[in-house]
Amino acid sequence: MATPVTPLDVIPSFHQALRNDMKLIDDAAYKAAAEDGNLAPVVERLRFFSEILMWHAAGEDELVFPAMDKVAPLVAQGYLHDHNEFDMMTEGLARMVAASDPLVAARETAAMTAVLRIHLDKEDQQLYPILRERTSLEEQTAIVGGMAAHVPPERNPEFIRWFFPLLGHDDREMWTKVVMGLMPEEVFAGVKVLIRETITDDWAELTRRIPELNV
């Protein structure tokens, strides 16, 4: 029997997008250091990535970690420390990139990629499974809804255009199924349009997996 989908199942999909985008940033920084010295692609991707990471971390600080403290005291403390480290690292990355030194930028993005991957893997393997097991669907819905609210409404189109190209078919399906169940129908209708416009040729595959999208 398939495991029921829960609201928290959107989080691993989001984490995968973060991993994939950080790899693109790191690859661009390496290319700049090894070949052409052009940091423009790094600057552009890093700008929005830093905002996304800030919104996500703020949502976890405000909603996920307090919920964890109730069901598994002290577990969240190490993750909160990681978030503080991320704040310093992203600020440092921005300064390094602004300094236009490709070698330094490549070194910093490589470090950030490794630290972020380890942190997200730990969350996916330990923190979120505990939270999923020990909280109700109503509590999970409140957590996910509160985290989503950290994205300014006027930035939602930009978020979807960033998010969906970074996902594989399985993660797109999971995220869409969960969000369909959480959002009012009229609100999701606008999100559906954004998704279709973003993934274009892949829309057929998503609707094959989720026939309700054709309604």
What pLDDT is recorded for position 109?
A: 86
Lowest pLDDT segment from 40-49, 128-137, 157-166, 185-194: 40-49
Q: Which two tokens stand for residue 178?
A: 């969960």
pLDDT band at 1 (very low <50, low <70, confident <90, very high): very low
Is residue 26 within 8 Å of residue 110, measured between CB atoms?
A: yes
pLDDT reported for residue 26: 92
- pTM summary value: 0.91
In one-letter notation, the amino acid at residue 124 is: D
**Tokens 């040729």 -> residue:** 201
157 has a pLDDT exceeding 70: yes
pLDDT band for position 3 (cuts 50, 70, 90): low
- Ordered domains of the chain (ranges, CATH): 9-151 (1.20.120.520), 153-215 (no CATH)
> Per-residue pLDDT averaged across 186-199, rounded?
96
Which position has the token pair 């026939």? 211
Query: Tell me, what's the pLDDT at 19?
Result: 96
**Angle, to 10 degrees, between the axis of helix 40-59 and the axis of helix 10-31?**
150
* 157 Cα distance to chain centroid: 15
Q: Where are the alpha helices (DSSP H) in the chain?
A: 10-31, 40-59, 65-71, 77-98, 102-122, 128-134, 137-148, 156-163, 169-182, 185-199, 203-209
Q: Which of 129, 116, 131 minimizes the C-alpha distance to 82?
A: 116
Check whether 97 has a pLDDT greater than 70. Answer: no
Give dist(CA 13, CA 11) in Å, integer. 5
The model's pLDDT over 46-93, given as tens digits with 9 standing for 90+, comes to: 889 989 998 999 999 999 999 999 999 888 888 877 887 777 777 776
Can you give the pLDDT at residue 79? 84
23 or 38, which is more confident: 23
Q: Mean pLDDT of all residues in the chain?
A: 90
